[in-house]
Amino acid sequence: MLFSGTMVAIALAFEGLWGYASKNGRLLGQRAAAADVEQITRQHKYGPLMYSAAFALSFVSIGLSVGVCLCLAVYLGLKGWPSRT
């Protein structure tokens, strides 16, 4: 429960920081492509919700909750996947 709860807090903090930094490109580098910013924003849109589901799952199965958290971390850590074609 502690692990998945921490992941929920990290996802919420990331969403807040990313939203502030990426709004109108105010804190991003000049070379940051608008398509990359949009893709990262889309990819992380449901991160807190999915980590909250993993937190709820931790009351049923700790192993399954950790597995879901690890899968989410891999998914959210790979920029550009899945890509739109």
Spans of all domains in the chain: 2-77
- pLDDT value of position 67: 95
Amino acid at the residue 9: A
Contact 37, 79 (CB under 8 A): no
- pLDDT value of position 58: 94
80 pLDDT more than 80: no
- pLDDT value of position 54: 95
Which residue bears the tokens 């899945």?
A: 82
The whole-model pTM stands at: 0.81
